[in-house]
């Protein structure tokens, strides 16, 4: 018995050791979980780094291009990975969308005269540092999109009316201001020449429901009314804002359900992309949308006070007002109030839009308006909604310095992407 007892631990000592181990686990829980996660990630990633090849074309020179890559397997924790430009060794921010298993990042296309293939690799490591893009809900009933400490745009869901104006001009559910590369305001609201104009908004002069004709453009008999925020997402590459509102007649009837999805990307060397996806669905009976005789109606941008205004399209300079003229894109560049240099904003018509290339109604006092119902009216129902997609390109300099034509070509004919690896 004495011999055996030398190899036995007294019960009270065993208990003390068990308590010590439990205390160690309790105190270092986060450290142990991190070590376990790293071990799992190392096992998953070993020999299976993702390689992405992006073929850039000379026609994209100077543009900033979003690149989206579909993954074959989920990423356990994107904070444990880095995306690196293989040719330059530089880390790039990337954003992981777990709902569709994709990563997205931005490529600034250099000035090139022949096609170039850039290689990027997603590997375990520290992600690239830098400010991301976020959406912030403010106390004054607006949603502000920011990159770092700089405001990019503001979506107004609260009802706005400056003191001294008639109550008919009260409005909500539109974007203003939109800020330029140097913080200057590019858009206007309640301008003295047209009080009903409002930043970036969807407006029609004729909304016909049940035989009655309402004016959403002039806010007569019908107005948008905010419903709810459907999604707010921040990230290192883009922010996503999805909001819903209704068009209500003065009789209190909700006749159209409107949903905006606004995807705001981080800025590139020459500018910033903001993608708009707008869905209009009739509530109850069909709704007919018709423009005015001069073509007003649809997606509108009203510009802020400025000087040295120049309007360009893919056809060249647009020296005068345009009524129902078909364009692929239009750009307005100028020296805006408060800025010491020229900047601009372009609107690109998506090839999938109805009646592409759409007719436009533009005004040199500061209005760009792709107007799909300018020539022929549109009717929407609950089963046949209207989807409108546009890319807004906010850029430095004029149409040439801002690489507007290149940015449009990258939008409609993006670079070819190939992947290699097990991700």
Q: Which fold has domain 133-405?
A: Beta-galactosidase; Chain A, domain 5 (2.70.98)
CA–CA distance, 398 with 272 (Å, rounded to integer) = 14
Q: Find, among 357, 377, 423, 388, the residue nearest to 123 by Cα.
A: 423
Res. 109: pLDDT tops 60? yes
* CATH number corresponding to 50-130+415-420: 2.60.40
Res. 242: pLDDT tops 80? yes
CA–CA distance, 286 with 284 (Å, rounded to integer) = 7
257-281 pLDDT per residue, tens: 999 999 999 999 999 999 999 999 9
CA–CA distance, 223 with 198 (Å, rounded to integer) = 13
153-204 pLDDT per residue, tens: 999 999 999 999 999 999 999 999 999 999 999 999 999 999 999 999 999 9
CA angle 239, 240, 243 (to 5 degrees): 140
Residue ranges of the domains in the chain? Answer: 50-130+415-420, 133-405
Alpha carbon separation from 327 to 38, 188, 347 (Å, rounded): 53, 24, 10
What is the pLDDT, as a whole number, of residue 232? Answer: 97
215-235 mean pLDDT: 97
What is the pLDDT, as a whole number, of residue 87? Answer: 82
Share of the chain above pLDDT 90, in %: 83
Query: Whole-prediction pTM value?
Result: 0.88
Q: What is the 3-state secondary structure (H, E, C) of 348-384?
A: EECCCCCCCCCEEEEECCCEECECCCCCCCEEECCCC
- Higher-scoring residue by pLDDT: 172, 45: 172
Q: Find, among 283, 258, 277, 289, the residue nearest to 381 by Cα.
A: 283
Tell me whether domains 50-130+415-420 and 133-405 share a fold.
no
Res. 30: pLDDT tops 80? no
Whether residue 333 contacts residue 342, with contact meaning beta carbons closer than 8 Å, is answered with yes
Q: At what angle do helices 29-45 and 11-27 cross, to 10 degrees?
A: 70
312-322 pLDDT per residue, tens: 999 999 988 99
What is the pLDDT, as a whole number, of residue 36? Answer: 47
What is the pLDDT, as a whole number, of residue 73? Answer: 85
């Amino acid at each position: 018995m004495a011999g055996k007892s030398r190899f036995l631990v007294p019960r009270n000592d065993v208990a003390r050791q068990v308590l010590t181990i439990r205390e160690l686990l309790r105190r270092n829980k986060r450290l142990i979980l991190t070590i376990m996660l790293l071990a799992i990630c190392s096992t998953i990633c070993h020999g299976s780094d993702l390689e992405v090849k992006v073929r850039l074309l000379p026609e994209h020179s100077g543009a900033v291009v979003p690149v989206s890559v579909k993954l074959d397997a989920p990423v356990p924790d994107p904070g444990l990975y880095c995306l690196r430009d293989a040719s330059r060794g530089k880390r790039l921010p990337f954003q992981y969308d777990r709902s569709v298993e994709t990563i997205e990042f931005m490529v600034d296309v250099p000035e090139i005269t022949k096609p170039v293939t850039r290689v990027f690799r997603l590997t375990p490591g520290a992600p690239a540092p830098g400010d991301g893009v976020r959406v912030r809900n403010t106390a004054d009933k607006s949603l502000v999109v920011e990159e770092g400490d700089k405001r990019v745009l503001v979506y107004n869901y609260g009802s706005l009316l400056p003191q001294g104006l008639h109550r008919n001009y009260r409005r909500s559910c539109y974007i203003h201001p939109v800020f330029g590369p140097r913080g200057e305001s590019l858009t206007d609201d309640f301008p003295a020449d047209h009080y009903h104009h409002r930043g970036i908004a969807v407006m029609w002069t004729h909304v016909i429901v049940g035989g009655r004709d309402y004016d959403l453009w002039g806010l007569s008999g019908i107005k948008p009314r905010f419903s709810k925020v459907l999604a707010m997402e921040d990230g290192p590459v883009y922010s996503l804002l999805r909001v819903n509102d209704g068009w209500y007649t003065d009789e209190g009837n909700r006749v159209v359900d409107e949903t905006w999805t606004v995807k705001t990307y981080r800025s590139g060397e020459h500018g910033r992309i903001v993608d708009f996806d707008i869905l209009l669905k009739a509530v109850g009976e069909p709704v007919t949308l018709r423009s005015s005789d001069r073509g007003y109606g649809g997606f509108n941008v009203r510009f802020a006070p400025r000087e040295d205004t120049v309007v360009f399209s893919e056809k060249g300079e647009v020296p005068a007002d345009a009524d129902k003229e078909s364009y692929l894109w239009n750009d307005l560049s100028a020296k805006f109030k408060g800025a010491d240099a020229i900047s601009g904003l372009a609107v690109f018509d998506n090839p999938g839009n109805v009646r592409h290339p759409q007719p436009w109604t533009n005004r040199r006092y500061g209005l760009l308006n792709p107007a799909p119902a300018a020539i022929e009216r549109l009717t929407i129902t609950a089963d046949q909604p209207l989807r409108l997609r546009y890319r807004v390109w906010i850029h430095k300099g004029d149409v040439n310095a801002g690489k507007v034509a290149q940015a449009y070509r990258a939008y409609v004919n993006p670079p070819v992407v190939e992947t290699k690896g097990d991700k």
